Amino acid sequence: MTDLAMRGPLGQKQPSVKKARRKAIRRLSAKRAAYLASPERQEGLAHMGRVAQLRCLVCGAWPVEVHHEDTPKSDFRVLPLCPPHHRREFGEGAYHYSPRAFYAAHGDSKTLLAKVEDALAGELNPT
């Protein structure tokens, strides 16, 4: 704030011109970077792409979001779920609203993953 003579208020310090240089933050560890460039990661991405082409396991809607199952996360243990059955903001019936209620209503993790494998096998080898 200045007065009509373009003078600043009295008693306040002027901002310093020098600024401390920030240290660069390393975004990826060497181990993580090696994994991201590995063939295993590329196979995982391809698998998730095939799962993303399936319909929702619960209601059959499409498009779907790919949900990672279990810990540690694996790109090969994923479920195709539509947004209302995946995201918390859609309320009851959504996985992230209550995983326990979701599994009680639709089966346990192993059953759902088996359905995904069956759907992929049927898609890749039509009979």
CA distance 71 to 109: 12
Instruction: Report the range of poorest mean pLDDT among 22-26, 73-77, 94-98, 103-107.
Output: 22-26
Which of these, 62, 66, 82, lies nearest to 74 by C-alpha position?
A: 66
Do the beta carbons of residue 44 and residue 77 sit within 8 Å? no
Q: Which of 43, 102, 105 is nearest to 76 (CA)?
A: 43
So where are the chain's domains? Answer: 30-124
pTM: 0.70
- The pLDDT value recorded for residue 89 is 85
The yes or no reply on domain 30-124 and CATH 3.30.40.190 is: yes
